Structure 1
Amino acid sequence: MVRAIRGAIQVDSNDREAILAGTTELVTEVMERNRLTKDDVISVIFTCTPDLNAEFPALAARKLGFHDVPLLCACEIDVPGALPRVVRMMAHVETDKPRSEIQHVYLRGAVALRLDIAQ
């Protein structure tokens, strides 16, 4: 079965290391909370708010070993008043878990984006 898992993290600054560290934390949490291996991952889409352009978040996933997983980076729309410095991800995975057991992950300030599903 294919499922989509959402996640987001707010990083401290538009700095290469901050983006990579935040994305690493986010991807690691999504994988751990959902008990996934890299072989379970079909693809991952990363987005950043327009104020984050110092590095591609997909590089963090590559450094975690996602070498043969299709990864894509894009820019979120620039909505006035939106939470700044946010990296988002949507991972498509193969899992036997029902949709109700999927754990979406919102970290740091990004918890405010989805108080209804953030753990």
Structure 2
Amino acid sequence: MVRGIRGAVTVEQNNSAEMVQATERLIAEMIEKNNIDPETVCSAFISATDDLDAMFPARALRELKGWEYVPVMCMQELAINGGLEKCIRIMMHVNTDKAQKDIQHVYLDGAVVLRPDLQQSTK
């Protein structure tokens, strides 16, 4: 069955190097915590807030060996007054036998405020 695995991370500055590094770190932790093989991934949606326009965050996923054929779509996050700034979010759709309660969503850095009820990461 298909399950959604969520992740989010914030960056300090709108620059390619920091965005790639943060996105790579987020993806790596999502993979590790959920034992994800790219062959089981149906697709991934990656959004960034409107204050991040230095690069497409999907580039970080594309650079991972074995992930070249995973369908990925980048989009802009809704601009909501008071919303979290400089945030990259990922929704990965994965074929898995895990129950919803066993999926480990990952929120790093300033993004921990998004879903403290699901928080399992200490970063």
TM over 0.5: yes
CA deviation vs aligned residue, 1:6-35 (integer Å, no higher than 9, x gap): 110011210001110111011111010001
Cross-structure match for 2:106: 105
Matches within 5 A, 1:1-119: 1-65=1-65, 66-119=67-120
Measured in 1, the distance between the counterparts of 2:39 and 2:112 equals 28
CA deviation vs aligned residue, 1:30-75 (integer Å, no higher than 9, x gap): 0100011111111000000000000101000000131000000000
Measured in 2, the distance between the counterparts of 1:31 and 1:41 equals 11
Identical-pair percentage: 44
Unaligned runs of 5+ in 1: none
CA deviation vs aligned residue, 1:64-112 (integer Å, no higher than 9, x gap): 1310000000001111111110000000001111111000000001001
Measured in 1, the distance between the counterparts of 2:64 and 2:13 equals 22
The list of structure 1 runs, each at least 4 consecutive aligned residues, that deviate by more than 2 angstroms after superposition, is: none
Aligned partner letter, 1:103: Q
Aligned residues, how many?
119
RMSD of the alignment, in Å? 0.7
Unaligned runs of 5+ in 2: none
